[in-house]
Copies of this chain bind each other. A is one copy, B any other.
Amino acid sequence: MKKTTRIQTENSQRVLDAALEVFAAHGFRGATVDQIASTAGMSKANILYYFRRKQDMYVAVLTKTIEDWLTPLKTLNPAGDPHEELWRYAQAKLQMSRDAPDASKLFANEVISGAPMIGAYLQNDLRPLVVHKCTIIQRWIDRGLLAPIDPLHLLFFIWSTTQHYADFMPQIDALYDHSEDKLFSDAESTLKQLLITGLQPPAR
A25-83: which residues lie under 8 A (CB-CB) from chain B?
25-31
Contact of A164 among B24, B149, B160, B195 (CB under 8 A): B160
Mask, A151-183, CB within 8 Å of B = 1, is 011101101110111011011101110000000
Interchain CB contact under 8 A, B193 and A198? yes
The answer to whether B176 touches A152 (Cβ under 8 A) is yes
Interface of A is mostly: helix
Q: Which residue of chain B lies nearest to A196 when distances are taken between CB atoms in the complex?
A: B198
- A157-B194 in contact (CB<8A): yes
Q: Which of A9-32 touch B at CB < 8 Å?
A: 24-31
Contact status A175-B25, CB under 8 Å: no
